[in-house]
Each structure stands twice: as C-alpha cells, then as structure tokens.
Amino acid sequence: MTKHQHRVNEVYHFFDNKDTVLGFRKLLDCAIDTQNMEIYKEAINLTDWKETNSHAISEFIEKSKILLEKIEKIQVQEHSAEKPVLCAKNILKSYGSNRFSLGPVSMEINKGQVYGLVGENGNGKTTLLRILAKEISFNEGELNYSFNSEPKNEYDLCTKLVYIPQRTEKWYGSLKDNLKFVLSNYNVKPEENEIRTLMMIARLGLWNYKHLKWNELSSGYKMRFELARTLLRKPEILLLDEPLANLDVLAQQVILEDLKSIANSVNHPIALILSSQQLYEVEKVSDKVIFLKNGQYKDNSELKDTENASLIIEIDTTNSREHLLEVFKDFALEKLNFNGGVYVAYFSAETEFHNVITALGQAKTDLVYIRNISSSTRRFFVN
C-alpha cells in the first residue's frame, strides 16, 4: 500500500466514525498532495458549502467521500525522505568568557518528521533555531543542508529554509490578498494563484477570516496566517519558535496535529522543528525531542540507553509525603523528591507501573494526576 493510499484510508476511517472535524482536515491534506487544480476547486467548493451547511452532517460526509473517491484514483508522486536535509556537527556558539554558550550540538534532520525543542527559558532554544536558519553565525562546527536543488541565491535559500519567530511582523491589507501576493512573487498565474491561496486558507482553518486584516485576528490566527504564507512557498525545512504561545489547550492540540500531518505530506514532506514549553503535547507528535539545559544538548534517544535503569513517576496529590512513603514501603523506592509542587518517585527497574497505581488506589490516595515519565524528556527537567 502506498503512503497516499494509507492516508486516504485514514480519512475514510474518520468519516465512517463521524469524526468530520479531523476527517475533513485530513481530506484536505490528501487533496493538496494531488497537486491537481480540479481537485483543489472541488475541495474549495466543499469547504464553502460546509461553512453554510454546518448541520447537514450526513450530506457533508457523503459529499466528502465522493471527493475522496476522486482523490484516491489520482496517481500521487511520493518523495523519499530518507536522506537528512540538515546535518549539524559539533555546533558551538559562545558569547564570550563566563557568558552563555550553546553546544556542542550534533543532529540530523529528515523530511517528514517533527522535532520538538524543549527547555527552560534562557537555555538556547531560540539561539539554536536561528543558527539552523542561518540567521546568526556560530563559532565552531559544521552545518550542511541537502535540498532538492542547490539554492540559487539568498532569496531561494529563504524559500527552502524558513524560520518563524514567536512575534511576527504586522502586515497590511486582507489576509487573502497577502497570501496571493506571496504566490505572485513566484510567477504563479492568476487563476492558479487564487485556487492555491483558497486551498491553503481552507486547510489552515482560515476560511471565515480570509477578508480580515491583521488587527482583526487573534494571536492564534495570526500564527496560522504565518504558516499559510510559509507553506505556500513550499519550504523544505520549517523552524517554529513557540508556535503554541497564546493558544488555548484545544487550539494547541489542533495546530500540533495539523503540523504533523502537513510535515508528513506525500508530495512535499517537510522537516519541522518547533520549540515549545508544552512538553507533553509536543512529545505526542514529535518523532524526536531535543532538550536544552544551560546550552547543553540532549535528546530522548538517550533515554533508550537508560530507560531500564529506573521507573520514574510524577505524582500530584494532596496527600502527605508520609502517606506516599507508607504506600511505597513494599516497593523498591530509591528516592521521593518534591519538585515544582509535585512528587517524583524513583523506583528500581523491576517495579511495574500498574502495580504502583494499584497500591495508590488501594490506599485511597487523592490523585490529581499521575504520569510515567521514565521515557519522557520531563525527567531531564526534574533531575
């Protein structure tokens, strides 16, 4: 089964289970993969129909499946993403003696994958992103890119390698006109420009906002606009600095799922690196998580070497430390720390997580939440 067919089958599954919200976003991804203007037109018309017939769920599902059948029949060219598009080796950035330094950092970035960049404020996340984006220089190391074609000039490089900072610049005019202007710089013909712009507006949930101006949009929709503007340029590497800032919990989950799906495009996969404070949300969608502390680099692949060393559980409870020690008296408890308002319990590798939960339940422990962080980069924070 091809990747295109797999993505199409996934959409059928969502619609069969009446999950029309996520199903439609995935449907638009499959439509974009075809690069077929007739399919784009049908997807745009369906988006417009959906917005004015929001209660006709059964009819919407039927129309979506008809479009999906057409998409399924189109031969989509799949691009291999096996070769790393970015290779960094022993990158070191120093700001002078006794001042902040970043690195050494070594990494390989592949298209079609999402890399989460986490760490406390002031630990070098933005600096690393700007180095990878070639916005600032570094003192030592090597940084190499392997794009589909060698950039002809700086403008071409900025098309293939895009960095979106947390605070974006103000723009003027309507959202739609700004997006059309982006494509006009790439000599896209007017009719195709209109279609591609509307398709991207539909995909990023901006349909009802396309005629609004910068000061009429929330922070979340301004970020979506920046993504739309960037994706129209078809980048190969996309670097996002805190794209989840100022978003509510639901919006964070939606944008992360969207980014994951867009990065996994069959026709044009993208290597995506995003920094965020939302550790657990980022870990859900990331193929790899990079952790920075005091400029020093680690990633969650290191946990594979140590994951059998101990079971680490984070516990938020109103019960006392003495209560927890009593519950864990028959377990191989190595230490119990109080960290940031929650307890972190370290057990020997032989301890089973489900047995710990059972003991806490039998002791009627008042749990706010409990989480196994043995294989999470969260353990770097609490250590």
CA 32, 34, 38, 39 torsion-angle sign:
negative
Look-up of token digits 């377990």: 331
Whole-angstrom Cα Rg for the chain:
24
The pLDDT, as a whole number, for residue 307 is 47
* pLDDT tens for each residue of the chain, 383 residues long: 788 899 999 999 999 999 999 999 999 999 999 999 999 999 999 999 999 998 899 999 999 999 999 999 998 888 776 789 999 999 888 876 667 778 788 888 899 889 988 877 777 888 889 999 998 888 889 999 988 888 878 777 888 899 988 888 888 999 999 999 989 988 889 999 999 999 999 999 999 999 999 999 988 888 889 999 999 999 999 999 888 877 777 888 888 888 898 888 988 999 999 988 777 788 888 888 888 877 777 776 655 555 456 899 999 999 999 999 999 998 889 999 987 789 999 998 889 999 999 999 999 999 999 999 887 777 776 65
Q: Which amino acid is at 355?
A: N
Tokens of 339: 């960290």
Work out the burial of residue 102: count CB atoms within 10 Å of its CB; fewer than 13 is exposed, 13-18 middle, 19 or more buried.
buried
Q: What is the pLDDT of residue 365?
A: 93
pLDDT one-digit tens code per residue, 319-345: 999 999 999 998 889 999 987 789 999
Q: How many Å apart are CA 336 and CA 307, to the nearest integer?
A: 18
The pTM for the full model equals: 0.82
Give the domains, in start order, of the chain with CATH numbers: 3-72 (no CATH), 86-301 (3.40.50.300), 307-382 (3.30.70.100)
Q: 14 and 22 in contact (C-beta within 8 Å)?
A: yes
User: How far lies 122's CA from each of 93, 333, 334, in Å?
Assistant: 14, 34, 32
Which one, of 46, 48, 40, lies nearest residue 61 by Cα? 46
